[in-house]
Amino acid sequence: MKIGIVGLGLMGGSLALSLKKLPFVREIVGYDHNAEHQKIALERQLIHNIVDFQSIKACDVIFLAIPVNAITALFKDLTDLPKETTLIDLGGTKERILKAVPLSIRRNFVAAHPMAGTEYYGPSAAIENLFKDKIVVLCDLEESGEHQQEVAVRLFSGIHMQLHYMRSHDHDRHAAYISHMPHIISFSLANTVLSQEEKENILLLAAGGFRSMSRLAKSSPQMWEDIFRQNKNNVLHAIEHFEKELTVLKRSLKDDDWDTLHQRMKAANKLQDIFS
């Protein structure tokens, strides 16, 4: 099959590297509105060729690896896809995207969210095996065409991803707590430290804990602004719950209530039991 990738950054570029290894993928072409991204993608041999947008629409499978607002805006230019074409998005939100899909191409469309990435972005950040053994969530899959379902499962399984299925509304609620809110906190933490500490002190004293917590603050502002816009209500609910917990810890410190502080920290230790 011939695959087209719209957006040649971290996700699109890394996906191309993985798909190139599949024996049934004969060619991968790319499109990106950023000329520098196109140049780097070719130099790094992430794809076989750069094509214009009209040519992308002739591919058997089209991946949309662009910010979520750009995905919804692009749908109007994809309404003339052939019936057998498979269109897959990789956006970090799902419900708003699915509501925006034109009815004429709903059977073409597969809503996917690979739970993979790094804090870096752009084609220079693309890496091999980014998706290997990671989870990909497929949302409202029963509304996609049977052929498109089979193609998506074959491709994601082929690059060794673990497939999970979820309703789009549930996905966005869960993602707000596990992915979106941590990014908000990391951005906030970075700005708090930058406003209070000199660069020299940050370099001198920042150890593993701060580096780990602030790592996400390097993520793409454009991509994350779009995600926060589309999942605003769920992210706000998650922040409110976080604020309540933070208030408990703050009050414990203020009142010298070390028992409560100890118990809340002990309760938090249980999170790692889930991963072990």
User: Residue-wise pLDDT tens for the chain (276 aa)?
Assistant: 999 999 999 999 999 999 999 999 999 999 999 999 999 999 999 999 999 999 999 999 999 999 999 999 999 999 999 999 999 999 999 999 999 999 999 999 999 999 998 888 899 999 999 999 999 999 999 999 999 999 999 999 999 999 999 999 999 999 999 999 999 999 999 999 999 988 888 878 877 788 888 889 988 898 999 999 999 999 999 999 999 999 999 999 999 999 999 999 999 999 988 877
Q: What does the alpha-carbon distance between residue 123 and residue 120 come to, in Å, rounded to a whole number?
A: 10
Do the beta carbons of residue 108 and residue 135 sit within 8 Å?
Answer: no
pLDDT tens per residue, range 207-222:
778 888 888 998 889 8
Domain(s) labelled CATH 3.40.50.720 in the chain stretch across 2-166
Instruction: Tell the residue number behind the tokens 């040519």, with chain if given.
Output: 55
Residue 274, both tokens: 């889930």
Q: What does the alpha-carbon distance between residue 7 and residue 12 come to, in Å, rounded to a whole number?
A: 6
From the options 3.30.70.100, 3.90.45.10, 3.40.50.720, 3.40.50.2000, give the CATH code of 2-166. 3.40.50.720
Predicted pLDDT of residue 93: 96
Looking at CATH, the fold of the domain delimited by 171-275 is given as 6-phosphogluconate dehydrogenase C-terminal fold (1.10.3660)
Predicted pLDDT of residue 209: 82
Domain(s) labelled CATH 1.10.3660.10 in the chain stretch across 171-275
Count of alpha carbons within 13 angstroms of residue 129, beta-carbon side: 2
Taken in order 45, 10, 72, 89, the sign of the CA dihedral is positive
pLDDT tens per residue, range 62-119:
999 999 999 999 999 999 999 999 999 999 999 999 999 999 999 999 999 999 988 8
Amino acid at 100: A
- 3 state DSSP class of 7: coil
185-213 in b/e form (b: 16+ CB < 10 A) is bbbeebeebeeeeeeeeeeeeeeeeeeee
